[in-house]
Amino acid sequence: MPRTDPPPGIADEHRGSARPRTDPWRAASHHTVFHSSCGGPTDLPADLAQAFTPDSPGEPRPPGPRANPWRAAGAEPVAVPARERALLDALWRSGGRHRRPDGTPSGIHRRPVPSAGAAYPVRTHLVVGPGADGLAPGRYAYDMEQDTLVKRDDAADRAAGWPGAADRPADGTHLVLTVQPGRSFGRYRHRAWPLWIADTAYALAAVEFLYAPERLAVRLGPGAALRALLRVPPAAEPRRWLARRLAPEIPLAAVALPQSRTIGPRHRDALAARRSPDITRFLETGARGAAADRTAAASAQAWVRGATRLHTWAIPSGAATAELAAAVWDAHRAAAAICYADAATGDWRSRPVSGFAAEDGHWTIHALAALPGRRRVATETGP
The domain boundary residue, chosen from 271, 291, 314: 271
Is 229 part of a structural domain of the chain?
yes
Which strand (E) or helix (H) includes residue 266?
Answer: helix 265-273
Is 77 part of a structural domain of the chain?
yes
Residue 360: pLDDT band (50, 70, 90) is: confident
Question: Same domain for 124 and 168?
Answer: yes
Q: What is the CATH number of the domain that holds 78?
A: 3.40.109
Q: What is the pTM of this model?
A: 0.87
Angle between helices 82-92 and 192-211 (to 10 degrees): 130
Question: Same domain for 244 and 330?
Answer: no
Tens of pLDDT, residues 109-157: 678 999 998 899 999 999 999 888 889 999 999 999 999 999 999 999 9
Question: Same domain for 102 and 193?
Answer: yes
Question: Same domain for 116 and 238?
Answer: yes
Is 1 part of a structural domain of the chain?
no
Residue 45: pLDDT band (50, 70, 90) is: confident
Question: Same domain for 292 and 234?
Answer: no
The answer, yes or no, to whether residue 19 has pLDDT greater than 50, is no
Question: Same domain for 206 and 350?
Answer: no
- C-beta of residue 142 within 8 angstroms of C-beta of residue 149: yes
The domain boundary residue, chosen from 271, 291, 309: 271
Which strand (E) or helix (H) includes residue 127?
Answer: strand 122-128
Question: Same domain for 245 and 284?
Answer: no
Q: Phi, psi (5° rounding) for residue 141?
A: -125, 140
User: Per the structure, how many domains does the chain have?
Assistant: 2
Question: Same domain for 88 and 110?
Answer: yes
Which domain does 44 fall in, by range? Answer: 12-58+275-381
Rounded alpha-carbon distances, angstroms, from residue 204 to 8, 59, 210, 218, 270 = 19, 30, 10, 9, 16
- C-beta of residue 129 within 8 angstroms of C-beta of residue 137: yes
Residue 107: pLDDT band (50, 70, 90) is: low
The answer, yes or no, to whether residue 38 has pLDDT greater than 80, is no
The domain boundary residue, chosen from 271, 290, 317: 271
